[in-house]
Amino acid sequence: MLQAYDLHKSYGRGSSAVQVLTGLDLRVEEGEFVAIMGPSGCGKSTLLHLLGLMTAPDKGEIHLENSRVDHCPRTRTAVRRRRIGIILQRFNLLPELSAMDNVEISLQVRGLRKTGLVDELFEKLGVAHLKGRKPSRMSIGEQQRIAVVRAMAHQPRLLLADEPTGSLDSKNTQNLLEMFARLNREQRQTIIMITHSADAAAIAGRTVRMKDGRLLD
Amino acid sequence: MAYLPLANILHHKLRSLLNALGIGIGICMLLTLSGLSRGSLGEIADRWDAVNAQLLVYPAGWGESTPTLSGVGLSDRFAQRIEQQNPGKVARAVPVFLWPMKVGGQDHLAAGVDPGQWDMLAGGKKLSGGRLFDPDMSFAHWLEKQLLEEASGDDLASITDADLASRGALELVIDSRLAKKASLKVGDDVHISNHNWKIVGVVPEGGLARVYLPRRTAQFLFGSGSITKSTVIFVDLVDDEGVEQASRDIRNDTRQEVVQVSQYRNMLQQKWGVMYTYVDAVNVVALIIAFLFIAVMLYTMVLQRTREIALLKSFGASSAFVIRQVLAESLLMTFAGCAIGIGVSYAAGWAIEQVTLYTVTIGPHWIAIAIAAAFAGAVISACYPAWRAMKIDMVEALTME
Ligand SMILES: Nc1ncnc2c1ncn2[C@@H]1O[C@H](COP(=O)(O)OP(=O)(O)OP(=O)(O)O)[C@@H](O)[C@H]1O
Ligand SMILES: [Mg+2]
């Protein structure tokens, strides 16, 4: 499903450059549920941005479903991004749009229409009452759950989640994790989830640990 | 349906309103100024067209782009000659003395006409109130006797305003629009050009002038000491077909300028061409400012919303999609601006016509130009902001505080 070889990524230039990823290798099989753990600032989010094709590595390769996907033409990369579902650590929602419209616009971008699944996801995540509400009038945890709905509405084969349970209470955390596990089990959806919680990681099939821009093994 | 450009506009209501207003003002200026300049001249030309005559004769050498025809021009003998030389072709040749008079705070080209020729010059309009001046031409005949006949010992200097007034010479007919605007009615006294006049009649608008006076009075007061000359001669032909030929014949015979009355429109336009250019230049500047407005607005919008645009891109939005959002927002704003601008223009035009005697003609032609200019401006001013939006770095936008 997904292979990353020798990924390097730095921010900034010259003397102020920060080396974030320093030769990271990762291999995730189709239908796997992988949790990524590691100390703050070790580059987890950066890795997710690379896997989500939001930015290109300085060095190294990323292969997705048997094709090399780093450094492809912009249009092709955009089309590939549509098939991925991504939940970012922060700033997930468009403030001008209601929760439902936030989901719909992502479907629109992907050239899809709203299906019954969307309402189902709103129900399952306990945010059905927020459909018409704008993000500024939601709690962080509610916003995060809307982002989950949006990331899953198009049934992506690959779901990338950056601390999706970070702002949720234990009941909602449990609920979300169970949903991830079920999707992974029943629909063989590939999930890569970043988390700081050992309990959350326990749900995943495999946990990898990161430190200083590499995986530990 | 989630429609982001509209949602953005509605999310920032005040900002959007101000922008739409900016465009609206530009459009309104374009329509109102061009409608005013062209409408007022068009209205004058329409009134001249309404005169029941085909040809206009005026002094040789005044040229095509002559300043407003007025004052002493052609000898009245030309009128007689034109009729005599073209029997069966010319129905009548009618001299008219034109003179600027200030009524109701605005200058008008008043027409000194013989009461007997009223039907030709007033465009077939019947008086809606009062009566015509000097109806039985008694003043005209009296004045002719005093000044034109050899035997008379009287001269110009001995005739006073009191004489004129007592013989009904200082009487005016005005048109209904001027009457309304200047709040004048039949029986009112007005002081114009150093004389006291009485309004004796009101005629519906649409004839040669807004202010009419007896031609002999006009000649006597404004004719430089002689009542033998008028300004122009209108010629009514028996047969409309022979206009070209008649025009040539009269020109050759009298050696004066002869044009078709319908050409007066072109003469006005030539004369005021510079003003059109000026008005149009002001309009272009107004529109450019309106679109600088939009460009700055779109640009700040893109800067403010890098994060949202980055999010769209993270779902896989193509560059085309991002550009479309910016463009659609610009077009929506422009659409609103056009609606406001056109609406306000009609309102402004109506208001101007209520308060002044100017005419505002908002033609479909100018609306089309305004809309085309607005949308071209919308597209152009969206270019740079859209390009910036396309270039936004997703990770940077979504990780930086
Ligand atoms: N846009 C950026 N520009 C410059 N430096 C950045 C940028 N984004 C991240 N960094 C730096 O890169 C390093 C790794 O950041 P990253 O967000 O990947 O860490 P993380 O493992 O996700 O941490 P956390 O668990 O706190 O979310 C950090 O030192 C951070 O300061
Ligand atoms: Mg992170």
Q: Which ligand is nearest to the Cα of residue B395, counting in written order? A: 1
One DSSP character per residue, B185-211 reads -TT-EEEETTEEEEEEEEE-S-SS-SE
> Which candidate in A96, A149, A154 is best for mutational testing of the B interface (most B CBs within 10 A)?
A96
Question: Element (H or E) spanning B324, and its range?
Answer: helix B319-355
pLDDT tens for B124-143 read 888 998 899 998 888 999 88
Nearest CA to ligand 1 atom 12: A20
Query: Distance from the CA of A69 to the center of ligand 1, in angstroms?
Result: 23
Long-range CB contacts for residues B255-258, cutoff 8 Å, separation at least 24 = B255/B60, B256/B57, B256/B58, B256/B59, B256/B60, B256/B74, B256/B78, B257/B57, B257/B58, B257/B59, B257/B60, B257/B61, B257/B62, B257/B63, B258/B55, B258/B56, B258/B57
CA–centroid distance, residue B251 to ligand 2 (Å): 94
List the Cα angle A74/A75/A76 in 5-degree steps: 95
CATH number at residue A12: 3.40.50.300
Query: Residue A43 domain-assigned?
Result: yes
pLDDT band, very low/low/confident/very high, at B33 (cuts 50, 70, 90): confident
How far the first Cα of chain A sits from its last, in Å, is 21
Give the count of alpha carbons within 13 A of B2, CB side only: 24
**Sequence-distant contacts of A166-169: CB under 8 A, at least 24 apart:** A166/A89, A166/A196, A167/A139, A167/A140, A167/A141, A168/A141, A168/A144, A169/A141
Neighbouring-strand partners of residue B99: B110
Q: Give the distance (Å) from ligand 1 centre to CA of residue A143.
A: 22
More confident residue, A182 or A13: A182
Q: Is the ipTM of this complex over 0.85?
A: yes
pLDDT exceeds 70 at position B361: yes
Please judge whether B2 and A104 are an interchain contact, meaning their C-beta atoms are less than 8 angstroms apart: yes
Question: Across chain A, which distance is largest between two alpha carbons, in Å?
Answer: 52
Of A214, A101, A169, A72, which Cα lies nearest the Cα of B312?
Answer: A101
Residue nearest to atom 28 of ligand 1 (CA): A41
- Looking at the structure of chain A, the number of domains it has is 1
Q: Domain for residue A113, yes or no?
A: no
Asked if the structure places residue A131 within a domain, the reply is: no
φ and ψ of B360, to 5 deg: -110, 115
Mean pLDDT of chain B: 86
d(CA A101, CA A98): 5
Residue A36 is predicted with a pLDDT of 95
B314–A94 CB contact, under 8 Å: no
Only one residue has tokens 């896997």, namely A51
In a domain, A194, yes or no: yes
CB contact under 8 A, B11 and A95: yes
Q: Which of A20, A86, A162 to mutate to test the pocket of ligand 1 (most atoms within 8 A of CB)?
A: A20
Per-residue b or e along B230-251, where b marks 16 or more CB atoms closer than 10 Å to that residue's CB: bbbbbbbbeeeebbeebbebbb
> 3-state DSSP: chain A helix, strand, coil percent, rounded to 5?
40, 25, 35
pLDDT at residue B230 above 90?
yes
Measured between CA atoms, how close is B311 to chain A, in angstroms? 7
d(CA B283, CA B73): 38
Chain B residues 309-348 within an 8 A CB cutoff of chain A: 311-319, 321
A131 CB near a chain B CB, below 8 Å? Answer: no
Tokens 């407003």, located at residue: B68
Q: Tell me the chain A residues in contact with residue B321 when contact means C-beta distances shorter than 8 Å.
A: 109
Residues facing residue B232 across a β-bridge: B96
Q: Does B365 touch chain A (CB under 8 A)?
A: no
The arithmetic mean of pLDDT across residues A33-38, rounded, is: 94
User: pLDDT tens, B46-74?
Assistant: 888 899 999 999 988 777 655 568 888 89
A97/B314 Cβ within 8 A:
no
- Rounded Cα distance between B280 and B270, Å, is 15
| C-alpha B116, offset from chain centre | 29
pTM assigned to the model: 0.74
- Which of helix, strand or coil describes residue B76? coil
Closest ligand (CA of A20): 1
**Ligand index nearest the alpha carbon of residue A212:** 1
Which of A55, A79, A94 lies closest to B395 in CB terms? Answer: A55
Residue A146, pLDDT score: 94
Report pLDDT digits (tens) over B157-191.
Answer: 678 888 888 888 999 999 998 998 889 999 999 99
pLDDT of residue B152: 55
* CB-CB contact of B53 with B235 (8 Å): yes
Instruction: Decide which of B146 and B110 is more confident.
Output: B110
Instruction: Give the pLDDT confidence score for residue B65 in this predicted structure.
Output: 55
Is residue A170, in this structure, part of any structural domain at all? Answer: yes
**In the structure, what pLDDT confidence band is assigned to residue B154 with cuts at 50, 70 and 90?**
low
pLDDT of residue B156: 64
Chain B interface mutation, best of A45, A49, A55, A109, highest count of B Cβ atoms under 10 Å: A109
Q: What is the pLDDT of residue B197?
A: 93
Range of the domain at A204: 2-93+156-215
Helix (H, G, I), strand (E, B) or coil at A83: coil
Please tell me the predicted confidence (pLDDT) of residue B16.
86
- Ligand 1: atom nearest CA of A39 is 25
Candidates B349, B320, B392, B331; CA nearest to A79 is: B320
Q: Identify whether A201 is part of a domain.
A: yes
Interface test with A, best of B6, B395, B396, B400 (most A CBs within 10 A): B395
A with B: how many residue pairs have Cβ under 8 Å apart? 77
Q: Enter the tokens of residue B242.
A: 């022979």
Domain for residue A164, yes or no? yes
- Residue B153, pLDDT above cutoff 60: no
Q: Cβ separation of A92 and B311 shorter than 8 Å?
A: yes
